[in-house]
Structures are given as C-alpha cells and as structure tokens.
C-alpha cells in the first residue's frame, strides 16, 4: 500500500497538496477583495495504474474542480500533479496541448458534450487523429467503427448526428471519444447521473469492462454512493475541498471511520425492505459552509453532532493512516466516537 | 438498444473495412432546418419572388433594347406603353432598364455590405468571446465606441473627407453593420464556451483556431444567418436613404434609392416614376424579411409560433 503522496517518478498519478482557488476579484470603487473561493484546498492522493478511484462528496465540495484541475482545464493555484513521472502542473499552457491525449474526460451531460453539428464519424475521427494524424478515409472509418463496437454501438450509424441518438447512446459515443486518443487515464465526471436508471447500469458495466480490458486507470466522480460503491476499487470522500477519508471501497462502505462518511453511507437505501426499516440514518444538519470562508480547524465542526474542542476548531487535523491503506482526517470528535448510539 | 454480446474490445478484432455506401446517412441540423423551411409557404414564396427579382435585374439589361443612360428627349416622361413597359423618365430614359440597373446596385450594396459585415463581425465576435477577460472587454468597448458615433454624421464626414464614391458607401455601411453581428456572435460564443463539448475539444488538445472554426462558429451560425438575411434589407434601406440625401450613388448611375428620389420629385405629374422603383424595392424588402423570419423559425424551431 502506498503512502498518501507516492513517489512521483514511480507511481502512476500523484497529487501533492493541490489547491485550486478562484479569486473573485476586487470591488469596483473601494478595491477590496471580494474573497477567494477555495474549491480545492490541499488534496494529496496517489492513484495506482489500473485502479478505479471513486470520488464522492456533496454538491460544491470541489469534486468537479479537482477533476478539471487534473485534466489541466484549470491550472492549480499551488501544488503538483505528476502523471507517469511527468509533472503536468509544470508544463506551460502552450505545451500541455500535446500531452492531453494521455488523459481524457467523460462529461456528465451527454446532451451537451457532443457537438450537435458534427456526425459521430467527424467527432470520433477528429479525436482519433490527435494520436494518429496520418489516418484518413477508409482507415479512419475502420478505426472509428472499431471504437463504436468497443462501446457497444452499431458502427453503421457513424454518419448520424448526436440528436438522432438516445442519452445512453450519446454517452457511449462520448466514451468512445474519450478512448479515441488512447489515453491511460480517464476521468469520468458523473457520467451516469444524467441517464435513466436502466441505462446507468449498462454504462457502469461498460466503464468497468473497458477499464479492465484496456488497462485504463479511472477517476470516477459521483455524488451517488451506490454507484461509486459498485464501480470503485478505492473511494475518496471529499468535503469542502479536502479529502477527509480514503480507503478501499469495502472499508469505506462497510467500516467508515469519519462521521461524515458514516452519514453518507447511512444514506444509501437498502434493497431489502426489512433491512431498510432497520437502517440507522445519521442525518446531517444544515448545508456545508461556503468554500469562500471555510471554518478553521476540523472542517466538519460546524455541522458535527459532536461538540468539538476549541483546539480542533482552530488547528486542522491531518490525514492519518488509521488502518493499512485507510486514511482519515484525524479529528477525535469526528472519528472513533460511537455515533451509532 | 445495443447488445452487449456484440461488443468487441479495442484492438483485439480486426475490423472489416466499412464501405461508405453501407453507412446509415444521418440528418444534420441544417438538413432538418431546410426541411422545415420548405414547409413554410410564405418563406418559399418569398424566396422564389426574390430570385426572380434578382434574375430580372441581373439578366434584364442584356435583353432590353435600351441603354440605361441613353436619353431620348423627344420621348421624355411618357407613361407605360408597349415600347417602354414602365414608361420613361423626364430625360426620356427607359425606366424598366433603369429599375433593372438600379436593382443591381441596390442588391449588390445589400449583399456586399452584408458579407463584409458578416465576415468582420463573426471573426471579431468569436475571437472576443473565446478569449474572454480583458481582451474581450476592450474589444467590446471599441464596438460600443463605434456604436455611439451617429451614422449620418459619420457618413457625411467620410464623404466630405474622401469625396463621394460608391465604394466609400460600402465601407461606411459595412463599418456600421458588423457591430451588431459581432455582439450577437460574441454572446453566442460566450454561452457555448461553457458547454461540455467545447471543454471536450479543449481537453482533446485541439488548436484554438480549430475550436473556433469547427466547434464554436458552426453552432452560432443559425442566429447569424437570420440576422444576415435581415441585414440585407436594412443595408438596402440605408443605401436608399443615403442616395435620397444625395450622399450615395450619384446620377446618372441609378439605384432604387436614386430612382425613388427622382420619382418623388415628380410624383404628382408622373406617378409611374415613383411607383415602379418603389414597388420593386418594397417587394424585395418584404421578401427578405419573410425569408429571414422563415429561416429563424426553421433554424430554431422552439421560437416558432403556431
């Protein structure tokens, strides 16, 4: 099991204290700062080749910002990101373009993520040519057909436009586009949340199979815990721009340590009606604080049902490895207390 | 839906070559819009009339026995007859051939100025919207600045400084009309830029010009085409207005604006001198506006009123 911040030269993807802040600018006349949104505020993580890491958290916790930062669509305010020993965060804007074929993204809304004026063939062909600029004509069509078969679509439909497909089919095309440049890392930002439940499982199975068969590494972002539990090898729980718990999927789901994770897990409905009746829910009060003015100390104290000490309201607890491979934000009031009682 | 048993794995199977003819042909949004436009009887009728007027103006002078500037003082200001279908003007020039030649100028001003406005406006607006931030702000303040200039004074100044010429009028009209085009394209690009397919294009590492030309501009073209069709009549009106004031096309050259100006001077005695050019001008403007409306409904079905 690797350390929280692995060896940048050896490990697949390493994040070291990544912060992405948004400066809201200054007011017009008085030139006072309007504040800084700390969307991602110090995330450290090591991702192994071939694994699926689930990233969960409430809306606004910084999951999407983190994914766009890893994708270098947003550049980190501070911190380092290494992919296969190359420090992405140090590559200039001009040079990053040629690196992008190594990491691709699947977007949330398949209705917005495909160019409505381009056929599937044009969209995928354009993406294929980022890796193989020499392909054209029959060879390019053959490659696009191969991609479509890979995602379970009929290749004879490649001359069609996005509006002629259903949401699930469009998401398959979007997945094919992400695969087209033959990346090693795929970031899936809520790829099933815009789809019907019946289609969700098909897409999840497709992603799981592709990851295994193509040797991909995936960061799977979702707010839906049952989805994340199904697909992930490891799960990271984000709260207010930080990771507060990280570990193997079973450990996080079955034996969560942090009260916030426990609350999230207790929100997953049970399929068995008897178990569902006996399910003990931890209901959290209030909304997460604004990322413009996050609380000092343990990020969770304003919402925790357990009163925190003055020290934990000012000094931030570090992530520690409680059990092998299972990291948690070490706040004694959030961790360890028997919250079930 | 698709069958999972059919799915293959990348690279593991050798894909048979897909022949072009076997592919299911998709129906692009442009095709759909064309199909909707064809159902709009008013727009199609207007299109036919407009094309006929264009043909009449472009080909007519070659078929007419009269020269547009040839004076025949013995047959001045005659009403419509078998020799002169539209009559003659006070200098005995055949009115029909003058309407044709004037139409050429009016239509050319409308089309050229619109194409100029379109080219400048689309590129300028798309660039400003795509870059955003301070560049966008300063580029759009420049547009505001030009907007604030009173058009007539601007044109009069140009004429005074450089003398009267038709080309100068094109420049003057183009300078004014691209502004609204740039604003429309910019706002379209701003909202498109946040769409995920543009983010996807960025994350695939496409060049800026590719993203602007292939992904942004085709998606703002719908409203732009509509505005362009509605700009043509606006420009023709401007030309008529300038010519009416004596700032535009100079006699003996004719445009519909010049002919209307000449006609109104004598409208109580020789009404046909006003009637024919004014009718052609009005019908053309109507047609272009109907085509523009039809295009708007066809390109954006949500805006169509039942």
Q: Which of A64, A92, A97, A183 to mutate to test the interface with B (most CBs of B within 10 A)?
A: A97
CB distance from A161 to chain B under 8 Å? yes
Which of B4, B10, B203 lies at the smallest CB-CB distance from A152?
B4
* Model confidence pLDDT, tens digit, residues A157-188: 888 888 888 888 999 999 999 999 999 999 99
Summarize the confidence of residues B99-106 as an average pLDDT.
81
- Tell me the shortest Cα–Cα distance from B37 to chain A, in angstroms: 18
Q: Which of residues 175-214 of B touch A (CB under 8 A)?
A: 195-197, 199-207, 214
List the beta bridge partners of residue A23: A36
Q: What is the pLDDT of residues A43-83, one digit of tens each?
A: 899 999 989 999 998 888 888 899 999 999 888 899 899 88
Residue B200 has pLDDT above 80, yes or no: yes
Provide the CATH topology of domain A13-117+161-329.
Rossmann fold (3.40.50)
Q: Which residues of A touch B11 (CB under 8 A)?
A: 146
Give the orientation angle of helix A167-179 with respect to helix A197-213, to 10 degrees: 20
Q: What is the pLDDT of residue B16?
A: 57
CA-based nearest residue in chain A for residue B202: A73
* CB contact B3 to A (< 8 Å): yes
pLDDT at B6: 42
The predicted pLDDT at position B84 comes to 65
Q: What confidence score (pLDDT) does residue A339 get?
A: 53
Q: What is the pLDDT of residues B233-291, one digit of tens each?
A: 888 888 778 777 777 777 777 777 777 777 777 777 777 777 877 888 888 888 888 88
- For the stretch A181-215, pLDDT in tens is 999 999 999 888 888 888 888 899 999 999 999 99
Q: Looking at beta carbons, which residues of chain B come within 8 Å of A119?
A: 26, 28
Q: Quick check: A146 and B13 CB within 8 A?
A: yes
Rounded (10°) angle between helices A120-131 and A167-179: 20
Provide the chain A residues 268-287 that lie in CB contact (below 8 A) with chain B.
Answer: none
Report residue B16 CA to chain centroid gap.
47
A139 touches A147 (CB < 8 A): no
- Return the pLDDT at A105: 92
Contact B205 A127 (CB under 8 A): no
Contact B10 A113 (CB under 8 A): no
A-B contacts (CB, under 8 Å): 142
pLDDT of residue A219: 94
* Chosen from B23, B202, B218, B224 to mutate, greatest number of chain A CBs within 10 A: B23
**Between B18, B22, B215, which is nearest A115 by CB?**
B215
Mind telling me how many Å the CA of A123 is from chain B's nearest CA? 10
State the Cα torsion B147-B148-B153-B156 to the nearest 10°: -30
**Mind giving me the DSSP string for B122-168?**
HHHHHHHHHH-HHHHHHHHHHHHHHHHS-HHHHHHHHHHHH---HHH
State residue B69's pLDDT score. Answer: 67
**CA neighbours closer than 13 Å in the CB half-sphere of residue A256:** 22
Place of tokens 């304003």: A302
- Interchain proximity B18–A142, CB inside 8 Å: yes
- Rounded to whole angstroms, the Cα distance separating A67 from A103 reads 11
pLDDT at residue B169, rounded to an integer: 74
Domains of chain B: 32-56+89-303 (1.10.3720.10)
**Tens digit of pLDDT for each residue in A128-148?**
988 888 888 888 888 888 899
Inter-chain CB proximity B203 and A73 less than 8 Å = yes
A236-267 pLDDT, tens digit per residue, is 999 888 898 999 988 888 888 888 888 888 88
Chain A residues with CB under 8 Å of B213 CB are none
Average pLDDT over residues B178-190: 88
Do the interacting molecules here have an ipTM over 0.90?
no
Q: Do A73 and B18 touch (CB under 8 A)?
A: no
A119 touches chain B (CB under 8 A): yes
What share of chain B in percent tops pLDDT 90? 2
* Binary contact (B10, A100; C-beta < 8 A): no
State the Cα–Cα distance between residues B183 and B144, nearest whole angstrom: 10
pLDDT of residue A337: 57
Query: What's the rounded mean pLDDT across residues A4-15?
Result: 83
**How large is the average pLDDT for residues A322-340?**
76
pLDDT over 60 at A2, yes or no = no
A130 in B contact zone (CB under 8 Å):
yes
Structure tokens at A194: 């815009």
Residue B216 pLDDT greater than 90, yes or no: no
Higher pLDDT, A20 or B304: A20
Q: What is the spatial distance between Cα B260 and Cα B243, in angstroms, rounded to a whole number?
A: 9
Q: Can you tell me the distance from the alpha carbon of B157 to that of B155, in angstroms, rounded to the nearest whole number?
A: 5
CB atoms within 10 A of CB B13: 11
**Residue A235 pLDDT grade (very low, low, confident, very high; cuts 50, 70, 90):** very high
Residues of B in contact with A164 (CB under 8 A): 26-27
Q: Are A103 and A71 in contact (CB under 8 A)?
A: yes
- Separation in Å, CA of B95 to nearest CA in chain A: 48
Adjacency order of strands within the sheet including A242-248: A103-106, A185-189, A217-222, A52-56, A234-239, A242-248, A326-329, A319-323
Q: Which residue of A has its CA nearest to B207?
A: A97
* pLDDT value, residue A185: 93
pLDDT tens sequence across B25-49: 777 777 887 888 788 888 888 888 8
Look at A107 and B29 and tell me if their CB atoms are within 8 Å: no
Higher pLDDT, B200 or A311: B200
A105 CB near a chain B CB, below 8 Å? yes
Separation in Å, CA of B23 to nearest CA in chain A: 5
pLDDT > 90? residue B306: no
Over pLDDT 70: what percentage of chain B? Answer: 81
Give the pLDDT score at A237.
92
Candidates A100, A112, A153; nearest CB to B196: A112
Q: How many CA atoms lie within 13 A of A148 on its CB side?
A: 26
- The model's confidence at residue B12, banded by pLDDT at 50, 70 and 90, is very low
What value does the mean pLDDT take over residues B137-149?
87
Please state, rounded to an integer, the average pLDDT across all residues of chain B.
78
pLDDT band at B17 (very low <50, low <70, confident <90, very high): low
Token pair 């999840």: residue: A204
């Amino acid at each position: 099991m690797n350390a929280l911040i692995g060896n940048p030269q050896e490990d697949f993807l390493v994040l070291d204290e990544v912060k992405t802040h948004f400066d809201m600018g200054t007011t017009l006349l008085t030139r006072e700062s309007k504040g800084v949104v700390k969307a991602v505020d110090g995330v450290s993580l090591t991702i192994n080749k071939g694994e699926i890491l689930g990233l969960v958290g409430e809306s606004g916790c910084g999951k999407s910002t983190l994914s766009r930062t890893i994708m270098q669509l947003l550049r980190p305010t501070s911190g380092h990101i290494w992919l296969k020993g190359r420090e992405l965060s140090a590559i200039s804007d001009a040079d990053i373009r040629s690196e992008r074929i190594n990491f691709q993204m699947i977007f949330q809304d398949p209705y917005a993520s495909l160019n409505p004026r381009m056929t599937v063939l044009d969209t995928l062909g354009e993406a294929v040519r980022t890796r193989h600029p020499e392909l054209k004509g029959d060879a390019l069509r053959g490659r696009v057909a191969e991609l479509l078969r890979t995602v379970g679509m009929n290749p004879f439909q490649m001359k069609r436009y996005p509006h002629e497909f259903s949401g699930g089919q469009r998401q398959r095309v979007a997945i094919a586009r992400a695969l087209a440049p033959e990346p090693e890392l795929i970031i899936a930002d809520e790829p099933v949340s815009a789809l019907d439940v019946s289609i969700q499982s098909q897409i999840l199975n497709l992603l799981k199979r592709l990851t295994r068969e193509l040797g991909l590494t995936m960061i799977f972002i979702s707010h839906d815990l049952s989805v994340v539990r199904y697909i992930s090898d490891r799960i990271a729980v984000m709260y207010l721009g930080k990771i507060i718990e990280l570990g193997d999927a079973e450990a996080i789901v079955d034996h969560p340590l942090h009260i916030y994770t426990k609350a999230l897990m207790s929100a997953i409905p049970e399929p068995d009606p008897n178990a569902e009746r006996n399910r003990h829910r931890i209901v959290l009060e209030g909304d997460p604080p604004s990322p413009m003015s996050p609380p000092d100390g343990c990020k969770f104290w304003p919402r925790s049902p357990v009163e925190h000490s003055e020290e934990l309201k000012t000094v931030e607890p570090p992530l520690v490895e409680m059990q092998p491979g299972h990291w948690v934000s070490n706040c004694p009031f959030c961790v360890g207390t028997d919250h079930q009682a | 839906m698709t069958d999972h048993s059919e799915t293959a794995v990348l690279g593991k199977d050798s894909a048979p070559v897909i022949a072009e003819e076997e592919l299911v042909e998709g129906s692009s949004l442009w095709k759909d819009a064309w199909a909707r436009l064809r159902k709009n009887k008013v727009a199609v009728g207007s299109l036919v009339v407009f094309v006929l007027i264009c043909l009449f103006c472009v080909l007519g002078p070659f078929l007419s026995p009269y020269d547009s500037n040839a004076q025949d003082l013995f047959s001045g200001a005659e009403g419509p007859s078998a020799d002169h279908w539209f009559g003659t003007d006070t200098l005995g020039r055949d009115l029909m051939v003058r309407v044709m030649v004037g139409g050429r100028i009016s239509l050319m001003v409308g089309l050229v100025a619109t194409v100029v406005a379109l080219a400048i406006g689309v590129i300028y607006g798309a660039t400003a919207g795509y870059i955003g931030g301070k560049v966008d702000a300063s580029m759009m303040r420049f547009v505001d600045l030009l907007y604030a200039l009173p058009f007539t004074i601007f044109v009069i100044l140009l004429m005074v400084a450089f003398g009267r010429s038709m080309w100068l009028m094109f420049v003057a009209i183009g300078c004014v009309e691209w502004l609204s085009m740039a604003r429309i394209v910019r706002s379209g690009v701003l909202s498109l830029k946040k769409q995920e397919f543009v983010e996807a294009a960025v994350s695939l590492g496409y060049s800026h010009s590719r993203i602007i030309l292939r992904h942004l501009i085709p998606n703002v073209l719908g409203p732009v085409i509509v505005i362009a069709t509605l700009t043509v009549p606006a420009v023709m009106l401007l030309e008529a207005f300038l010519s009416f004031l004596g700032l535009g096309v100079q006699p003996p050259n004719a445009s519909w604006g010049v002919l209307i100006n000449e006609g109104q001077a004598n409208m109580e005695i020789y009404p046909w001198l006003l009637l024919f050019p004014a009718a052609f001008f009005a019908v053309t403007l109507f047609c272009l506006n109907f085509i523009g409306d039809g295009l708007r409904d066809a390109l954006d079905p949500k805006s169509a009123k039942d």
